[in-house]
Amino acid sequence: MPPPLSPSRHLLPPAVVVVALTAAAMHRAWLHERVAALLGDGAADSAGLAIGIAAWLAAAWLGSRVLDVVVDRPTRAGRPRAIPRLLADLLRALIYGAALFAILGSVLDQPVTGLLATSGVLIAVLGFALRNMIADIFSGIALNIERPYRIGDWIELAPGVAGQVDEINWRATRLITTEGTAVIVPNGVAAGSRFVNFSRPGTGFRAAVPITLDEEVPVARAKRVLLSALVCADGVLAEPRPDVLVESIGANGIVYQARFWVADYGRLSACRDAVASTILQHLGRAGIELAHPKQDVRAHRPQPRTRVPGTLRRSLMRQLELFSAFRDEEIEELAQALNRLELPAGTVAVRQGEAGSSLFIVAEGVLDVRMQSDGQQEGRASLLDRMRPGDVFGEMSLLTGQPRSASVVANTDAVVYELDKDHLDPVLRRRPELATQLAELMAQRQSRNSLQRQAEGAAGLAPAVAAPHDLLARLRGFFKL
C-alpha cells in the first residue's frame, strides 16, 4: 500500500497553476492589447480563450487533488476513510463535468440551458437502456458509504456462495472463495439481498457440529466427553469458551450441538475437520459409539447395553507405554485395583510440592498441568501441558515417592483412574526385573518431555532429567526391593 500523500507537495503544482491562470484571466484586457499588437486580433482572441479554458481545467485539477488528499489521508486503525474511493471517483467526474459546463457557458458563450435539455433527453434514453448497470453503480456508491462489508471481510451472499471480499468497484463486488475461485456479484444484487458478514463486528464467530448419541449415554457424560474434545481440537479459540448443548431428542437418539469459536472464516473447514476428528477420537477412547438408525417398529424392546466394568480400565492400562512389559494377568490385576475419581471443572487433582505415591490415567475430560516457578506469584502458575484422554500423570510419585512436580487442574469436568503404590507393590515383588524396564521407560519419557519443553520455549519449567540408573536406585529404595 503506497504511503499517504503529502498535502503540500500534492496540492502545490495545481495551486500555482490556478493562481497564475487566474491572474492572467483578471488581466485579460491588458494581455489582449499586448498580443494583438504583436500577432493580431485573431491570435489575441485565441489566447484569451485558451487562458479561460486552462483556468477552469486547472481549477478542476486542483479540486480532484483535494479529493485525493482527503481520500488517502491517514485514519485511525479500524476507522473507515472519510470518503470511499468509489464516491471520490464520482465527485471527481462531477468536478470535471462542472468545469466543462463552465467553459461552455462563461468562456465559449454557448447556451448551456439548451445543452442541458438535450443532454437530459440523451441521459434519459441511456438511463433506460443501461438501467441495470446504473442501479449497480448507485448500489456500489451506497455500499461504499454504508460499508456493510470491506475489503478482506468474509461474507456469505447466499447459501453456498461465500468468499473473501477482494474488490468493490463501480459495478460489482468480487469474492475469492476458499477454493480459490472468483465470484463476481453485481452490486445491485449485494445491496438488495440479505447477506452474512463473518468478519463483523469482531473477527471471530461461532460454528457448531451436530453429534447424535444413543439415549443410553448419560447426558452429563456425553457433554463431558464432547467438551473435552472441543477444548483439545486445533483451531478452536479458548475464549469465548466452547460449549455443548442438547439440540433435540429424536427417534434415533439425542442430538448434541458442539459449539466452538473460530478466528477466521477461511479456517472454518479445517477447524470443523479437527473438531470432528477429535470428537471421534474422544468418543472412541470413552467407548461411546455414534447413534445408529432405529427401526420404527420393534418386536421387543432390547435390553440396554452395559459396559463390562473392567473393559475400559484394561484398555486404559494396556495403551500406556509405562506398562508395556507387564503381562496380561498383571494388567488385569492393576486394572481391577484402579480407583475411579470424578473431578468437576476447576478441581485440583494434584498440587505442586505435595507428597504423593500414585499415578492418574485420564479417561474423560481435559486437565491442565501448571507449574509455579521460583519468584512467581501465587495463583500465576504457567501452563506447562494439557492432559487428554489416555494421558497419564503422577508416575514419578508412584515409582519414586518424590513430591508432585506440578499441579494438575481439571479444565473441564473429568474422570480419572488412580493407581496407588500399594497396588503396584505386589507385582514388582513377584517380578523385580520389571523395575529396570520401568526406570528405562521413565528416563525416555522425561527426555522426550524435556525436548518438547525446549521446542515450546518452556525449558526452564521442565523438571531435571534423571539418568536410568538413578531412577532405578530411587525406585528400588522406594519399594524396598
Is 331 in the same domain as 376? yes
What's the CA gap between 254 and 216, in Å, rounded? 9
Within a domain: residue 139? no
Is 120 in the same domain as 267? no
| CATH assignment at residue 465 | 2.60.120.10
Q: In the prediction, which pLDDT does 305 show?
A: 46
Q: How many CB atoms lie within 10 A of CB 459?
A: 12
Domain boundary (286, 320, 337) is at 286
Within a domain: residue 442? yes
What's the CA gap between 356 and 371, in Å, rounded? 16
Within a domain: residue 136? no
CB 231 within 8 A of CB 245: no
Residue 263's region, left for phi above 0, alpha for psi from -120 to 50, else beta, is alpha
| CATH assignment at residue 158 | 2.30.30.60
Is 372 in the same domain as 437? yes
Is 115 in the same domain as 20? yes
pLDDT in tens, the chain (481 residues): 455 556 666 677 777 777 777 777 777 777 767 767 777 777 767 777 787 778 778 787 877 777 777 766 555 444 445 555 666 666 777 777 777 777 776 666 666 666 555 566 555 655 555 556 666 777 777 777 778 888 888 988 877 788 899 988 777 888 998 888 898 888 888 877 788 888 888 778 899 999 999 999 999 999 999 999 999 999 999 889 999 999 999 888 999 999 999 988 888 899 999 999 999 999 988 889 999 887 654 444 554 444 445 688 888 888 888 888 889 899 999 999 999 999 999 999 999 989 988 999 999 999 999 888 765 555 567 888 889 998 899 888 888 888 988 899 999 999 999 999 999 989 888 988 888 888 888 888 777 767 766 665 555 555 566 677 788 888 888 888 7
Within a domain: residue 69? yes
Within a domain: residue 32? yes
Is 177 in the same domain as 212? no
Is 155 in the same domain as 120? no
Is 333 in the same domain as 360? yes
What's the CA gap between 476 and 479, in Å, rounded? 5
| Domains of the chain: total | 4
**CA 140, 141, 142, 146 torsion-angle sign:** positive
Within a domain: residue 325? yes
Q: In the prediction, which pLDDT does 207 show?
A: 92
Within a domain: residue 249? yes
CB 103 within 8 A of CB 55: no
- For 84, 86, 156, 204, the CA distances from 198, given in Å and listed in that order, are 22, 24, 8, 8
Is 318 in the same domain as 279? no
Within a domain: residue 343? yes
Domain boundary (197, 220, 237) is at 197
3-state helix, strand, coil in the chain (%, to 5): 50, 20, 30
CB 59 within 8 A of CB 99: yes
Is 327 in the same domain as 402? yes
Is 282 in the same domain as 323? no
Q: In the prediction, which pLDDT does 1 show?
A: 46
Q: In the prediction, which pLDDT does 396 show?
A: 87
Q: In the prediction, which pLDDT does 252 show?
A: 87
Domain boundary (77, 97, 129) is at 129
Is 404 in the same domain as 324? yes
Name the residue among 149, 259, 160, 166 with its Cα closest to residue 208: 259
pTM, whole model, 2 decimals? Answer: 0.65
- Residue numbers of the domain that contains 270: 205-286
Is 319 in the same domain as 226? no
Q: How many CB atoms lie within 10 A of CB 371?
A: 19
Q: In the prediction, which pLDDT does 218 show?
A: 93
